[in-house]
Structure 1
Amino acid sequence: MNQYIGSSFDEFLDEEGLLTETSAEALKRVIVWQIKNYLEDHQITKQTFAKRMKTSRSQLDRLLDPTQTNISLKALISTAKAMGKHVEVRFTD
């Protein structure tokens, strides 16, 4: 083993107690990026998209806030449905 190579970045974050929150925010950023790309590609306003989701514009704004990592499965499914898509969740190594 190379003496100059330390632990992985995930191990470092875990040791610092930051892995869960950092991973959640990274995942949320990907979700937000996908939604924003969809809105832009299809020239859909947030107001129109919120109506498609049967929610308020302020709820959609919270969904699009990458720092708000508490997102329900119902919200994900509603978002996917409004986009004409499905949600796929899986655990990987």
Structure 2
Amino acid sequence: MNKINQNHIGTNFDDFLEKTQLLDEVIGISHKHVLSMQIKLAMEKKHITKAEMAKKMHTSRSAVDRLLNPNNPNTTLDTIDRACIALGMRLNISLI
């Protein structure tokens, strides 16, 4: 197994994204991906369909589709909170 010389690797990917001013955008997109995946998994675990989820959230099925779409960045905090309540969960947000 070859040993890599750490002095000649260069910068890491976060440095690249920051230099190209994409880091904040990438972080935001990844947060949405994580949230939509967690909601999908909770729905599957509780055997809740999209139609049932929409009814519990007092919204339309297309709104649930947008919530579950990891590429849709326009999900509001209120929508995420209502999804958590519909699943019997709590939303926990922190700033670091």
**In the alignment, which residue of structure 1 is the partner of 2:33?**
29
Q: How far 1:18 moved relative to its partner?
A: 1.4
**In the alignment, which residue of structure 1 is the partner of 2:92?**
88
- Runs of 4 or more above 4 Å deviation: none
CA contact (8 A) 2:42 2:87 kept: yes
- Provide the aligned C-alpha RMSD in A: 1.3
Task: List per-residue Cα deviations over 1:41-68 (Å, max 9, x = no partner).
Answer: 1111100011101110001101111111
Q: Does 1:8 align with 2:12?
A: yes
CA distance in 1, matches of 2:55, 2:36: 18
Q: How far 1:5 moved relative to its partner?
A: 3.3
Q: Does 1:43 align with 2:39?
A: no
CA contact (8 A) 2:32 2:73 kept: yes
Question: What SS does the corresponding residue of 2:64 show, helix, strand or coil?
Answer: helix
Which 5+ residue runs of structure 2 have no aligned equivalent? 1-5
CA distance in 2, matches of 1:85, 1:68: 22
Give aligned pairs, total. Answer: 91
Match among 67, 70, 77 for residue 73 of structure 1: 77
CA distance in 1, matches of 2:12, 2:85: 37
- TM-score by structure 2 length? 0.85
Which 5+ residue runs of structure 1 have no aligned equivalent? none
CA distance in 2, matches of 1:26, 1:40: 21
Question: What SS does the corresponding residue of 2:7 show, helix, strand or coil?
Answer: coil
